[in-house]
Structure 1
Amino acid sequence: MNNLEKYGLIKENNQTNQNLGRVIAQHRDLYQVVTNEGVLEAKVSGKLRYQLESPIEFPAVGDWVELETKIDIGVIQKVLPRKSVLVRESSGSSSKGQVIASNIETIFICMSLNHNFNPRRVERFLTIVWDSGATPVVVLTKSDQCDDVEEKLQALEDVCFGIKVIVCSVIDETGLAELQTLIQPQQTVAFVGSSGVGKSSLINHFLGQDLLETKQIRGSDDKGRHTTTSREMLILPNGGIVIDTPGMRELQILTGDVSKTFEDITELAKDCKFRDCTHQNEPGCAVKKAIDEGFLDADRLTSYLKLQREVSYSQLNSRQLENQKINQIFGSKKAMKQSRKHMQQIKRR
């Protein structure tokens, strides 16, 4: 088995291409790319940089690329089509997007069974994972620190319906064998989650060595500190391929599949009296009826509506977004101007 086959190369990836490589790490504008000849540093060619229109089109960990070798550095000429890509909104006010990982079969959404536990956070991660094209698996870590595991699993019943949920602990090795069966040779998986939930500890266990730095979460509030600072791809002893990602204290959504994450609400909405029902105050709303009858958690509907708005906003440009918010608050720009005029008249009195 050659280098690229170890990193997941299959015939569909154009195995005869001598200029093929896979991005295994990224450090700002420099990339580490594995080829059949070994690992080399690479940068994006000027031509490709000019052609790419969005930050999410630039190479990312997991990407298959075509590159040329010039003296001691590779030059990436092309990013091959991705079969899956996990994207989040980048930090800051501009909507640019950031690729977390690409060409992944399974994404492990990690959440610890302490104060970090939050079903609403799982919904946010599921929204972007379903949109990525990969299969989500929810991993509940640090079960050795939890006395009410069954209660927490029950809280996730609606959120994780049809999704595999694994309860595990690195300390007493609960659930680790089950988790490892989902990391097959030449298959690429990624671990995502908040800081301090134990992603690096899990990967270290599967590596059989403490290769990734880990830090304990603060005992005062169970919040973790960023340990992994960049994305990198690792080969496990069993041949599985793992992408470790930095912890995300705040997950902002660029694109997402809300209907898949909230399939229960999507199905209920089909029985609403009005096709464009917003599930607020309309008569004949099947979703509100389900809440009143105790079949649906009101917090889940609140989360659904919030994520639906976020996804809608992220797909608008800044001017459209401004108009959308004005319409939501005032009804229209005309109404906003009237409200502003009214306030000015009050101040003059």
Structure 2
Amino acid sequence: MNLQSKRSNKDLSMAVLGWNQKWEEAFAELKLEGAQPGRIIADHGHKYRVMTERGEGWAELSGKLQHELGDRSAYPAVGDWIAQRFFSESEKDGIIHGILPRFSTISRRAAGSVPTEQIIAANVDVLLLVAALNLDFNLRRLERYLVMAWNSGANPVILLSKADLCEDPEQFVKETESIAPGVPVIAVSAMEDQGRDQLEALLRPGLTVALTGSSGAGKSTILNWLAGEEKQFTQGIRESDSRGRHTTTHREMFVLPQGAVMIDTPGMRELQLWDDAGGGWSEAFTDIEEFAAQCRFGDCRHEREEGCAVQEAVRSGDLDQKRLENYRKTQRELKYQATKEQARQRNDRKTSGKKETRRGKGEQRRRFELERD
């Protein structure tokens, strides 16, 4: 079901998608004559579904833009604002010639041995981290999602879905709040219409909200519940371990009746963090960082050092040992990832330098041959 279902073209103005004066100014700075603004609403690989003032159409990147962007992570993602030239005065399809600067980027490390960044969504105001209250509930996994969320530039909110499946959802809310200082935690149930008012308070007109979480967490169910119609197909989970099956196959944006737009994303079996450019690791573990500031030594590793406030917090019960272990694990992972990425960039620069040298020698040889002739 596309973005225009049950809505007129008038309803789907650019303002509904989040277009404002800030984006107008950013678009003008591109200085692309004859181009019109649009927003990526679905990513299908080399083709994109784009919403413009003409309505919903298809677009591809220009060859020049592909060359300029280079890295795949710089390509448009769902949520990006773009500059597009239409094929004709009457068509909705066209070519993308520019991408407006992002104010937030939700990303993870893509699967594979070579470290590459996979963009999940762009220009998101509120990121809803969805975790189901079933056998698959995992606080350590939520901590990793929080690192990603704080690094993205979006405001995280944790949704504990399928609250009807547990006897005491408030206990899960308290446990989650203990590992997410300052982050709103809402228990919701689409089956029982629980938590709707709290959730709808986040869906203000002009805002972009994205859903992310493990497979089977209930993201598409939440979207359908809020939309009042089946926007996305859903299916059940395995009873043996409460693990979900991939239902959503690509990232897509939908307009909600509450006024906000929502991006639904495929579930993740495993979240591999990309980087810590936004300081998300420290933000996700602010309680440990506060304890660490009280350690006797500034370079304390929080292991066996004398005067370690972090270890004292573990002994006193103020800090969970498993949370501390995950703190260290994600720190090691992010440092390793940063080292790998730096090595890749050095190799790319070296390769690029060799190509430029060969190109220069080739040009010199051609000039010599022309002069000799």
Q: What TM-score do you get using the length of structure 2 for normalisation?
A: 0.83
Q: Is residue 219 of structure 2 the alignment partner of residue 199 of structure 1?
A: yes
Percent of aligned positions with the same letter in both sequences?
41
1:31 and 1:163, CA in 2 relative to 1: closer, same or farther beyond 3 A? same
Q: Is residue 319 of structure 2 the alignment partner of residue 309 of structure 1?
A: no
Matches within 5 A, 1:124-135: 124-135=144-155
- 1:258 match: secondary structure: helix
Distance (Å, rounded) in 1 between the aligned partners of 2:339 and 2:94: 37
Distance (Å, rounded) in 2 between the aligned partners of 1:296 and 1:319: 34
Q: Aligned match of 1:268 in 268, 288, 291? A: 291
Distance (Å, rounded) in 2 between the aligned partners of 1:154 and 1:111: 14
Structure 1 residue 252: deviation in Å? 0.5
- 1:210 match: secondary structure: coil
Structure 1 residue 318: deviation in Å? 6.4
- 2:339 match: secondary structure: coil
Distance (Å, rounded) in 1 between the aligned partners of 2:342 and 2:205: 47
Structure 1 residue 223: deviation in Å? 0.5
Distance (Å, rounded) in 1 between the aligned partners of 2:192 and 2:342: 53
Task: Specify every segment of 5 or more residues in structure 2 that has no aligned partner in the other structure, as ranges.
Answer: 1-9, 29-34, 345-373
Question: Does the CA contact (< 8 Å) of 1:3 and 1:34 recur in 2?
Answer: no
- 1:76 match: secondary structure: strand
Structure 1 residue 320: deviation in Å? 5.4
Matches within 5 A, 1:104-253: 104-253=124-273
- 2:128 match: secondary structure: strand
Distance (Å, rounded) in 1 between the aligned partners of 2:130 and 2:192: 17
Give the number of equivalent residue pairs: 321
1:206 and 1:319, CA in 2 relative to 1: closer, same or farther beyond 3 A? closer
Question: Does the CA contact (< 8 Å) of 1:30 and 1:41 recur in 2?
Answer: yes
Structure 1 residue 148: deviation in Å? 2.9
Matches within 5 A, 1:63-102: 63-71=80-88, 73-102=93-122
Instruction: Look up the match of 1:324.
Output: none
Instruction: Look up the match of 1:14.
Output: 24
Structure 1 residue 3: deviation in Å? 2.3
Matches within 5 A, 1:310-329: 310-317=333-340
Question: Does the CA contact (< 8 Å) of 1:3 and 1:37 recur in 2?
Answer: no
Distance (Å, rounded) in 2 between the aligned partners of 1:236 and 1:153: 26
Q: What TM-score do you get using the length of structure 1 for normalisation?
A: 0.88
Instruction: Look up the match of 2:309.
Output: 286
1:284 and 1:170, CA in 2 relative to 1: closer, same or farther beyond 3 A? same
Deviations 1:266-318 (CA, angstroms, capped at 9, x unpaired): 11111112222221222221111111111111111001001111111111226
Q: Is residue 298 of structure 2 the alignment partner of residue 298 of structure 1?
A: no
Task: Specify every segment of 5 or more residues in structure 1 that has no aligned partner in the other structure, as ranges.
Answer: 322-349
